[in-house]
Structure 1
Amino acid sequence: MKKVGIIGGSGFIGSHITQRFLENGFEVKVSATDISKQEKYEHLMELNHSDHLYISELNVENKAQLKEFVKDCDLVIHGGTPFQLDFKDAQTELFDPTIKGTENFLEVINETPSVDKVVLIASVGAWNTNFPLPAGVKMSTDTFSENDTPFMSEESHPYALAKFSANQTVNAYIKTHPSLDFEIVSISPVMVMGKSLSNREDSISTGLQFLFKNKMAPNPFIQMFYDTDIELAIVDVKDVAEGVYKAATIPGLHGKNYLLSSETYPVSDVTLMLNHQEPKNQPKIIYQNKMARRELGLLFQSVKKTLNDY
């Protein structure tokens, strides 16, 4: 029985990834930043085959804990930098955990002979820090794919800038280490929505769905979505979990970074669909998913179905 370590495996996306690996006969080790807070991960104990599930305490900035966590794993999924919009100090809350955490992670994995593959859960921010706004001079109707040059603006949200920098760190590491004994694959989902496997109230993704459903704006950033009726590229959380599983188990993908996206709708239509009403506009495919379809065999859920599930 192969063992997979999933950093961030109890979060909104991570829980679906944990479920996917348990269903496919893996031993699964999930990290917890504070193992005493059982409410963060107790929902995982209700999953099928949870007798093959282990919870281990881990701070991703602690290299000793990281070494202990991955030492007996065949595969490692790193989704330990959560989607975070509100912060007090960007450096300590976003940049350090995301960038330094990625640097530590790659160093530790390189010293762990059991690991054959790592999958890093990046973000559409690794390709376009302006998301959900268009990249650079592109229009909102212009498509974006893995063939486009990644776009970064210093004025973007610090979360996106941190994810962009972390992805650049990964690319530089691959370039300077041409003879690694393990594969590195990244997946970059657009806005992730769908049904949560837990009742946790600290998920930004499920919180955003609540805000959009009720057309609430707790800050100017969210108000901007409504004021401009911004176009949102959305992907189902289950499709992200499937993408991570495929990226982890299909060989020969080293160095790839897959955009995971379904359809794009204006936020006004997102509000309608979250309230089980029909959208007024036809969906678009702005962020391309052809590479993920072709190489990972993914079939993306319609956004209407995703929002109905929520």
Structure 2
Amino acid sequence: MKKVGIIGGSGFIGSHITKTFLENGFEVKASTTDISNEIKYQHLMNLKNAENLHISELDVRDKQQLKQFISDCDVIIHSGTPFQLDFNDAKTELFDPTIKGTENFLAVVKEMPTVKKVVLIASVAAYNTNFPLPAGNKLASDTFNEKDTPFLSEESHPYAQAKFMANQVVNNFIESHPNLDVEITSLSPVGVFGKSMSKREDSTSTGLQLLIKNNLAPNPFVQMLYDTNVEMAIVNVKDVAAAAFKAATISGLHGKNYLLSSETYPMSDLNLMLNNKAPKNLPKIIYQNQLAEHDLGLPFQSVKTTLEEYSM
């Protein structure tokens, strides 16, 4: 039985990844930031094949903890960087755990000959820190794919900047280590929506869906989304989990970074669909998903299906 270590395996995306690997016969080691807080991971204990699941506490900034976590794994999925829109100190809450955590992770992986596959859950921000606004001089109707020049703005949200910089760390590491024994693949999902597996109330992804459903704006960033009726590209959290499994089990994907996206709708239509009403606009495909569909064999679920799952 192969063993996968899932950093952030009890989070919104990580929980679905944990479920997918368990269902496919893997032994799973999932990390949590606080082992004493059982609400963070107790929803995983009733999953199919949960007898093959182990929960470990992990701080990605601690190299020794990373070594212990990774040491007996064949595959590592890194989905453990923080996603939060509200913060007090961007450096300590976003930049350090995202960028330094990625640097530490790659340094440790390099020393672990047992690890053969690594999948990093990056973000659309690795390609466009302005998301969900267009990149640079592009219009809202212009498409975007993996061949476009990545766009970084220092005016973007610190979370997006941190994810962009972390992706640059990964690219530089791959370029400077041409003879690695491990294959590294990245996934860059757009807005990840869908049903949470836990009952936690601190998930940014599920919280954002609640805000959009009720037209609530707790901060200027969310208010801007409403004021501009921004076009939001969305991907189902289950599709992100499926992509992580595919990327981990298909060979020949070293150095690739796949955009994961389904359809795009304006915020006003997302509000309607979250309230079980029909959208006023037809969906668009702004962030192209053909590369992931081809290489990973993925169909992407519609936004309508995704938002219906959230409301269930």
TM-score, normalised via structure 2 length: 0.99
CA deviation after TM superposition for structure 1 residue 82, in Å: 2.3
CA deviation after TM superposition for structure 1 residue 260, in Å: 0.1
Alignment-derived partner of residue 111 in structure 1: 111
Alignment-derived partner of residue 73 in structure 1: 73
Letter in 1 for 2:91: Q
Alignment-derived partner of residue 63 in structure 1: 63
Alignment-derived partner of residue 291 in structure 1: 291
CA deviation after TM superposition for structure 1 residue 232, in Å: 0.2
Alignment-derived partner of residue 248 in structure 1: 248
Deviations 1:46-71 (A, max 9, x none): 11000000011111000000000000
1:148 and 1:3 map into 2 onto residues whose CA distance is 36
Deviations 1:168-208 (A, max 9, x none): 00000000000000000000000000011111111000000
Alignment-derived partner of residue 191 in structure 1: 191
CA deviation after TM superposition for structure 1 residue 216, in Å: 0.7
Instruction: Tell me, yes or no, if the aligned pair for 2:236 and 2:306 is still in contact at 8 Å.
Output: yes
Alignment-derived partner of residue 232 in structure 2: 232
Alignment-derived partner of residue 258 in structure 1: 258
| Pair 1:101 & 2:137 matched | no
Report the secondary structure of 1:46's partner residue. coil
CA deviation after TM superposition for structure 1 residue 37, in Å: 0.7
Deviations 1:240-287 (A, max 9, x none): 000111001100000000000000000000000001110000000000
TM-score, normalised via structure 1 length: 0.99
Report the secondary structure of 2:209's partner residue. helix
Letter in 2 for 1:230: V
Report the secondary structure of 2:178's partner residue. coil
- Where does 1:17-36 land on structure 2 (aligned, <5 Å)? 17-36=17-36
Alignment-derived partner of residue 82 in structure 2: 82
Alignment-derived partner of residue 124 in structure 2: 124
Runs of 4+ in structure 1 displaced over 2 angstroms? none
Alignment-derived partner of residue 14 in structure 2: 14
| Pair 1:270 & 2:270 matched | yes
Give the gaps of 5 or more residues in structure 1.
none
CA deviation after TM superposition for structure 1 residue 290, in Å: 0.4
| Pair 1:172 & 2:172 matched | yes
1:218 and 1:38 map into 2 onto residues whose CA distance is 28
Alignment-derived partner of residue 49 in structure 2: 49
Give the gaps of 5 or more residues in structure 2.
none
2:305 and 2:34 map into 1 onto residues whose CA distance is 35
1:63 and 1:219 map into 2 onto residues whose CA distance is 35
1:154 and 1:60 map into 2 onto residues whose CA distance is 25
Report the secondary structure of 2:28's partner residue. strand
2:127 and 2:204 map into 1 onto residues whose CA distance is 21
Root mean square deviation, CA, Å? 0.5
Give aligned-pair identity as a percent: 71
